[in-house]
Amino acid sequence: MATAVSSVMQYKMLIGGEWVDASSGQTYDSMNPYTGQTWAQMPDAQAEDVDRAVQAARKAVKDPAWRGMVPAQRGALLRRLGDLVAENAEYLGQIETRDNGKLIREMSAQCKAVPSYFYFYAGLADKIQGATIPLEKTSVFNYTLREPIGVVGIIIPWNSPLLLLSFSLAAALAAGNAVVVKPSEHASASTLEFAKLVEQAGFPPGVFNVVTGYGAVTGSAMASHPGIGKLSFTGGPETARKIAEQAALNLTPTLLELGGKSPNIVFPDANLQNAVNGTIAGIFAAGGQTCIAGSRLLLHEDIHDEFMERLVARTRDIRMGDPAAMESELGPLATTAQLAKVESFVESARAEGAELVYGGCRPDAPELAAGWFYMPTIFGGVRNDMYVAQEEVFGPVLGVLRFREEEEAVAMANDTRYGLAAGIWTDDIKRAHRLARDLDAGTVWINMYRALSYASPFGGYKGSGHGRELGVEAINEFTQVKSVWVELAETTPDPFVLRI
Ligand code: NAD
């Protein structure tokens, strides 16, 4: 629900089927990264608002309107929601671009893909099954029920709000949970616009609730709320640590989708032009503001110089501009803090002795001056122990490393605390599959990069998180298993012995 007051949109949050302000009446500003101006105001939810949302969700979980709904009907609601998102995808994409500054071609494509995530889990809603267990005890009938967890809390970042929300939400609703969502304070609007569609689709009140606010207050109140049965978090690793600590005090399980320092590894037998395009897609698409950014490029010595020439030539051609214009290829960073982080990251790379090959500063074009732009930046001569090779930048900064042997490439690729994704570029089929096994990463792309699907499980190894979203497997994340035992014999055995 939003109203325009002197051209600044005023949003409300959805709690228990009602559109409300924060109980304190406080709001925060949402800024447009291209203009640097406030374009909307959001309710600044406090712990009390979070508690109201969790209580509303708990009530919805027990309400026969949701609990008693047959799974096929849940599927029908999810399909209807997918249809509504499809009808409004262009608008939702525009809202996201205005809020986070990412390209309209990317945000619009993402919002157009979101319906398929709901259709996929709509189809799964009535296929969530338990099992009958063949025990040694022939007089006992044992079976399992796969049941919803209850209230699922979902905390998402600003970079791809609706897509990342759908990663958890579609499976959580298909499984019969109720949900409380907290979008990022930097990009809350699309989740509130989406909430209108959830309401329109006909989900019972309280099944889907949104609280908007800052991480340290609203997010923290969710992480520590004992009424939340599972917490799905997508964001940075430092935030994840705080959330996991708070959740652990209530023994609340978490699903964590975190960042990465993903490598693209290019061998001499690869199609180099495709590998250049894959490298560009990995680090400069979305301005590097993506968890799966391919921010390390590992080049075989034999093709290093030729590859760098092609890469720099393509990078030079990248069109920076208004993210709302279809022809733009690189937009601004989402926040001033992010811009400052990129600038200090580049300084640290220089100080460590990495060789600046391209970029390394803000653009000087006057038409970009108001926005939070940074040049696509390439560092050569990077060693894997440098900060630029180890830490996630979440900006358009690429570090290039050299290797000679396959084992050396694998060792370097794996030598970070992260393990979200990796790209392999080679025409040698044996090598490709060998590396796919050897790399510590939740997703491996061979001769491609930056592709996702609702049907394929997604998540991290090591410090990139735990648990899996997407695919059939994600249903397991949002359900719990109950084992039911039935005595079929007329008499009971020795009561003093465990029946084992
Ligand atoms: P962030 O960790 O700063 O914030 C993510 C969310 O957590 C926001 O909603 C924020 O308000 C909330 N939050 C912040 N502090 C909190 C606290 N103490 N308690 C509870 N909630 C809190 O991340 P960001 O800057 O919004 O996004 C960038 C990060 O997200 C990057 O590290 C990126 O790699 C990661 N990311 C991961 C994936 C993935 O699927 N693996 C996808 C996109 C982004």
Chain segment 237-247, per-residue pLDDT in tens: 999 999 999 99
Cβ-contact 184, 154 below 8 angstroms: no
Q: What does the angle CA 346 – CA 348 – CA 351 come to, to the nearest 5 degrees?
A: 115
Residue 89 confidence class, pLDDT cut points 50, 70, 90: very high
pLDDT of 393 strictly over 70: yes
Cβ-contact 284, 316 below 8 angstroms: no
Atom of ligand 1 nearest to the CA of 185: 11
At residue 1, the pLDDT reads: 59
Residue 99 confidence class, pLDDT cut points 50, 70, 90: very high
Residue identifier of the C-alpha nearest atom 35 of ligand 1: 235
Atom of ligand 1 nearest to the CA of 238: 2
pLDDT of 5 strictly over 70: no
**Ligand 1 centroid distance, CA of 269 (Å):** 38
**Ligand 1 centroid distance, CA of 401 (Å):** 28
Written as one letter, the residue type at 410 is V
**Ligand 1 centroid distance, CA of 259 (Å):** 9
List, chain by chain if needed, residues with CB within 6 Å of any ligand 1 atom: 155-159, 164, 182, 184-185, 215-216, 219-220, 223, 234-236, 239, 242-243, 257-259, 291, 392, 394, 420
pLDDT of 146 strictly over 70: yes
pLDDT of 4 strictly over 60: no
At residue 286, the pLDDT reads: 87
Give the HSE-up count for residue 109: Cα atoms under 13 Å, Cβ half-sphere: 10
Residue identifier of the C-alpha nearest atom 9 of ligand 1: 184
Q: If we measure between CA atoms, which residue out of 332, 343, 355, 29 comes closest to residue 187?
A: 29
Interatomic CA distance for residues 330 and 281, integer angstroms:
11
Interatomic CA distance for residues 444 and 142, integer angstroms:
39
Atom of ligand 1 nearest to the CA of 458: 40
How many CB atoms within 10 Å of residue 73?
Answer: 13
Q: Is residue 257 annotated as part of the catalytic site, yes or no? A: yes
Mean pLDDT of 112-128: 98
Atom of ligand 1 nearest to the CA of 235: 30
Hey, which of 13, 218, 225, 291 would you mutate to test ligand 1's pocket, going by the most ligand atoms within 8 Å of its Cβ?
291
Interatomic CA distance for residues 211 and 13, integer angstroms:
6
Atom of ligand 1 nearest to the CA of 182: 9
**Ligand 1 centroid distance, CA of 156 (Å):** 6
Cβ-contact 321, 327 below 8 angstroms: yes
Residue identifier of the C-alpha nearest atom 38 of ligand 1: 291
- Joined tokens for residue 13: 């949050």
Atom of ligand 1 nearest to the CA of 155: 9
Interatomic CA distance for residues 252 and 93, integer angstroms:
33
On the 0-12 / 13-18 / 19+ scale of CB atoms within 10 A, 367 is exposed
**CB contact set of 336 (below 8 Å; sequence gap of 6+):** 372
Interatomic CA distance for residues 103 and 295, integer angstroms:
19
**Ligand 1 centroid distance, CA of 265 (Å):** 27
Catalytic residue among 199, 257, 329, 469: 257
Mean pLDDT of 50-77: 98
Hey, which of 182, 228, 234 would you mutate to test ligand 1's pocket, going by the most ligand atoms within 8 Å of its Cβ?
234
Cβ-contact 125, 72 below 8 angstroms: yes
Residue identifier of the C-alpha nearest atom 23 of ligand 1: 235
Catalytic residue among 96, 111, 185, 291: 291
Give the containing element (helix H, strand E) for 310. Answer: helix 304-316
**Ligand 1 centroid distance, CA of 213 (Å):** 13
pLDDT of 442 strictly over 90: yes
Beta bridge partners of 265: 298, 424
Mean pLDDT of 374-379: 98
pLDDT of 6 strictly over 70: no
At residue 227, the pLDDT reads: 98
Q: If we measure between CA atoms, which residue out of 385, 365, 384 comes closest to residue 373?
A: 365
Residue identifier of the C-alpha nearest atom 6 of ligand 1: 157
Give the chain's mean pLDDT. Answer: 96
**CB contact set of 355 (below 8 Å; sequence gap of 6+):** 379, 380, 381
Interatomic CA distance for residues 63 and 425, integer angstroms:
52
Mean pLDDT of 382-396: 95
**Ligand 1 centroid distance, CA of 236 (Å):** 4
> What one-character DSSP code corresponds to residue 77?
H
Residue 310 confidence class, pLDDT cut points 50, 70, 90: very high
Interatomic CA distance for residues 113 and 156, integer angstroms:
18
At residue 85, the pLDDT reads: 98
At residue 2, the pLDDT reads: 59
Distances (CA, A) of 87 to 111, 112, 192, 222, 476: 10, 9, 16, 32, 30
Residue identifier of the C-alpha nearest atom 15 of ligand 1: 215
**Ligand 1 centroid distance, CA of 334 (Å):** 13
Residue 7 confidence class, pLDDT cut points 50, 70, 90: confident
Give the HSE-up count for residue 468: Cα atoms under 13 Å, Cβ half-sphere: 17
At residue 500, the pLDDT reads: 85
Atom of ligand 1 nearest to the CA of 213: 11
Mean pLDDT of 358-363: 97
pLDDT tens by residue, 246-258? 999 999 999 999 9
Residue 492 confidence class, pLDDT cut points 50, 70, 90: confident
Beta bridge partners of 179: 152, 208
Residue identifier of the C-alpha nearest atom 19 of ligand 1: 220
Written as one letter, the residue type at 370 is A
Rg (CA), the chain: 24
Hey, which of 44, 107, 184 would you mutate to test ligand 1's pocket, going by the most ligand atoms within 8 Å of its Cβ?
184
**Ligand 1 centroid distance, CA of 244 (Å):** 13
Q: If we measure between CA atoms, which residue out of 220, 239, 237 comes closest to residue 228?
A: 220
Interatomic CA distance for residues 443 and 422, integer angstroms:
6
pLDDT of 488 strictly over 70: yes
Residue identifier of the C-alpha nearest atom 43 of ligand 1: 291
Residue 18 confidence class, pLDDT cut points 50, 70, 90: very high
**Ligand 1 centroid distance, CA of 71 (Å):** 32
Atom of ligand 1 nearest to the CA of 186: 26
Mean pLDDT of 186-202: 98
